[in-house]
Chains A and B, each alone.
Chain A
Amino acid sequence: DIQMTQSPSTLSASVGDRVTITCRASQTLISWLAWYQQKPGKAPKLLIYKASSLESGVPSRFSGSGSGTEFTLTISSLQPDDFATYYCQQCHTYPLTFGGGTKVEIK
Chain B
Amino acid sequence: QVQLQESGPGLVKPSETLSLTCTVSGGSISNYYWSWIRQPPGKGLEWIAYIYYSGTTKYNPSLKSRVAVSVDTSKNQFSLNLSSVTAADTAVYYCARQSKGDVFDIWGQGTMVTVSS
Contact = CB atoms under 8 A, between A and B. Distances in A.
A91 B101 CA distance: 7
B44 A43 contact: no
B103 A49 contact: yes
B116 to A, nearest CB: 21
Contacts of B100: 49-50, 53
B108 A95 contact: no
Nearest to B35: A96
Given A43-B107, A44-B107, A95-B61, A100 B44 contact: yes
A63 interface: no
A91 B103 contact: yes
Interface residues of B, number: 20
**Interface size bracket, A side:** 20 to 34
A36 B100 CA distance: 14
Interface of A: 32, 34, 36, 42-46, 49-50, 53, 55, 87, 89, 91, 94-101
Interface of B: 44-47, 58, 60-62, 94, 96, 100-105, 107-110
B88 to A, nearest CB: 17
A87 to B, nearest CB: 6
A89 B103 contact: yes
B47 A96 contact: yes
Given A43-B108, A43-B110, A98 B46 contact: yes
Contacts of A87: 44-45
